[in-house]
């Protein structure tokens, strides 16, 4: 069992997956914020009602958001790092280990963490390596 040491392994590999989580979440949060604003504005109709009820409320919400948003942003990025790392975290190490196998060292075994997304596939690659090693020893 390997413990996770770094959540950000490789910029080129992990960034697209990081974006896959953070961008939709950020868009969703913005869309929810705007949908609430628009729905209330549309409901109030009368400008004096919007100016006296909605705008002060939105000002208060915005002043709270100044403190809440950085926390939300931190949590989103942290979640994105953890989930993207589960997918692409082992990739650079697997590449190094596969390079050893390509060079002829079939004794190498790919290491994984249980909750990595690629764990089932890595297990099968290890079975294949084991089989290749056995066949070479017999031959």
Partner 1 sequence: MRRMLSAKSLVAVIAFFLAMDVAGYSAAGYLKQFTFDDAAALDTWAKMILHGKVDYTLMKVGPNGYVQAVSEKACSALYYRVAFKAADYPYLSWKWQVIKFPDKSQAFDDKAKNDYAARMYVIFPFLSFSSSKFIEYVWTDDAPAGTVIDSPDGKNIKMIVVRSDPAGGDWYRESRNVYEDYLKAFGEQPKLKVGAVAMMCDADNTKSEAESLFDEIAIASQE
The binding site for partner 1 (CB under 8 A) comprises 37-38, 41-42, 44-55
CB-based contacts of 88, cutoff 8 Å, min separation 6: 9, 10, 13, 14, 17
> Taking the complex as a whole, how short is the minimal distance between the CB of residue 120 and partner 1, in angstroms?
47
> Taking the complex as a whole, how short is the minimal distance between the CB of residue 48 and partner 1, in angstroms?
6
> Taking the complex as a whole, how short is the minimal distance between the CB of residue 51 and partner 1, in angstroms?
4
Nearer to partner 1, 46 or 138 (CB): 46
Q: What is the DSSP letter of 3?
A: P
Cα atoms in the Cβ-side hemisphere of radius 13 Å centred on 3: 1
Nearer to partner 1, 35 or 68 (CB): 35
Residue 94 CA to residue 83 CA, distance in Å, equals 18
Nearer to partner 1, 41 or 77 (CB): 41
């Amino acid at each position: 069992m390997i413990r996770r040491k770094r959540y950000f392994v490789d910029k080129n590999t992990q960034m697209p997956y990081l974006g896959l989580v953070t961008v939709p979440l950020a868009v969703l949060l913005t869309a929810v914020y705007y949908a609430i604003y628009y729905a209330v504005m549309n409901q109030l109709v009368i400008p004096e009602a919007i100016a006296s009820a909605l705008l002060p409320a939105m000002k208060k919400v915005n002043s709270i958001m100044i403190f809440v948003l950085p926390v939300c942003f931190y949590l989103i990025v942290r979640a994105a790092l953890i989930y993207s790392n589960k997918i692409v975290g082992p990739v650079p190490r697997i590449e190094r280990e596969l390079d050893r196998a390509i060079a002829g060292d079939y004794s190498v075994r790919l290491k994984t963490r249980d909750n990595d997304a690629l764990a089932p596939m890595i297990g099968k690659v290890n079975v294949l390596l084991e089989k290749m090693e056995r066949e070479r020893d017999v031959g």
